[in-house]
Amino acid sequence: MNFKRKLAAVLAGIMTVTAFSGCSMLGGQNTNALGSYNFSEMNLVQLDKPAEGQDVAIIETNVGTITAVLYAEFAPNTVANFKKRAEEGFYDGKPFFALQKGIYAITGASNDEGTEGITDDGKYIENECSVNLWPFKGSLLGYSSQQGYSDSRFFFTGALEVTEENKKELRGYTNQETSAQVIPEELITAFEKRGSVPGFAGSYTVFGQVINGFDVLDKILWTDSDKSNMKPLEELKIVKVTLDTYKDGKFTIEEPTSDKYLSAEEIEKMQNESGGATSSVAESTSAN
């Protein structure tokens, strides 16, 4: 197994080894960017205070408002497409068409089924993964029906419990030549303390991070969905997306709601109820 596959498997293990059904988005690891990451240059920008003038998206939903900063520096094409769609009102009224309770909620499709999205030229946007951006709770990730790419569709992430066994596994991945720990302790701590779905890392572009409205995010993420097609059982939709820029004191900065995550016991229960099957989001939504 090569470097890329090993590292992807270690991070995916927090989802699949602890085993829950219906939400493993990692899929084919040939499109995973983790093997290209230089962890010595990692800067976890989502943990930092936003910069003056940084792009901000105010996402009004029918259950409340979420504010997120956008990372054009690291995902310029993904952010540009998101901003263009927001400016033209594309997201207004768009439903969340797929949801895995506590884990992800996807919106931004151009049809009700969620199988199509748009870009300016009609082509998918190639993933823009970065060692500086990770699928922490409240991150915005690009999505499309083709793995390794995105379009107007995107999803919010929730959080899984990171167990001592998970942390041990992450620390156990070492450089074969130097025996040094590859995954920095800072990242492992952030997975645990901030909340994350680590198995999404490297397979989807992280292009934004919620800074306030975590209570609204929880309302969305913890809605029940139809297990056959992942559609929420209650109406969840974007009312309007407004763009702004960050200014100190203009926006409240909140810490993620740490009490909302899927526990190892809940994950195991989900697996047992589904007979141990796992599927990707693409697989879950392709039937729509």
pLDDT tens digit sequence for 34-71: 888 999 999 999 999 999 999 999 999 999 999 999 99
Report the domain count for the chain: 1
* pTM attached to this predicted model: 0.87
Indicate the pLDDT class of residue 175, thresholds 50, 70 and 90.
confident
Q: What is the pLDDT of residues 144-159, one digit of tens each?
A: 999 899 999 999 999 9
For the chain, what percent of residues have pLDDT higher than 90? Answer: 61
Q: Read out DSSP for the chain?
A: --HHHHHHHHHHHHHHTTT-SS------GGG--GGG--GGG---GGGSPPPTT-EEEEEEETTEEEEEEE-TTT-HHHHHHHHHHHHTTTTTT-B--EEETTTEEEE--SSTTS-----SSSSPEEP---TT---BTTEEEE--SSTTEE-S-EEEE--B---HHHHHHHHT-B-TTT--BSS-HHHHHHHHHH-B-GGGTTTS-EEEEEEE-HHHHHHHHTS-B-TTT--BSS--BEEEEEEEE--TTTS------TT-SB-HHHHHHHHHHTTT----HHHHHHT-
What is the overall mean pLDDT for the chain? 85
What CATH number is attached to the domain comprising 51? 2.40.100.10
Average the pLDDT over 102-108 and give the result. 95
- Which residues constitute the domain of residue 163? 3-286
Q: What is the pLDDT of residues 236-278, one digit of tens each?
A: 999 999 999 999 999 999 988 877 888 878 877 776 766 544 4
